[in-house]
Amino acid sequence: MSARALQTQQVKRLYRHSLKNLLSWAIRRDIFFEEADQLRGEFEKHKDVSDVGQIGRLIQKGEAKLKEYQHPDPYIVPYYPGGSLYARNPPFSKELHQQLDFGREDH
């Protein structure tokens, strides 16, 4: 894999993680969209940089900034591992069967 392709992948990952981190800080959608536009503007500002060394330095600065602004209690989707609903209602074991006959069904 070329250095340029690897850096492109790193930039995409950095942008995605930055958006996820931003969602933990700005939970109201209107504020999130404004902040996301500013974040996108920061990435767009450097889109024409072609020097591999300079791109590497920009990625390092971005990752350091992401680490600095990491939320201490990040938002986790409730049904993902670590979320408040994760495995709350685990599936029944195969030995148990669901009884749907409540006495009103015709036999």
The string of pLDDT tens digits covering residues 5-24 is 899 999 999 999 999 999 99
Give me the number of domains the chain comprises: 1
Higher pLDDT, 17 or 86: 17
DSSP class of residue 68 equals: H
37 assigned to some structural domain: yes
Res 1: pLDDT: 67
Task: Give the confidence band of 107 by pLDDT, cuts at 50, 70, 90.
Answer: low
Cα(11)–Cα(44) distance, rounded to whole angstroms? 11
35 assigned to some structural domain: yes
88 assigned to some structural domain: no
- What long-range pairs does 71-80 form, CB within 8 A, spacing at least 24? 71/21, 71/24, 71/25, 73/24, 74/20, 74/21, 74/24, 75/23, 75/24, 75/27
Q: Does pLDDT of 3 surpass 70?
A: yes
Q: Which domain holds residue 15?
A: 3-68
Q: What is the pTM of this model?
A: 0.72
Q: Does pLDDT of 31 surpass 90?
A: yes
Place of tokens 């971005």: 62
Could you tell me what percent of the chain has a pLDDT over 90?
A: 52
83 assigned to some structural domain: no
Q: How many residues does the chain have?
A: 107
95 assigned to some structural domain: no
107 assigned to some structural domain: no
Res 41: pLDDT: 95
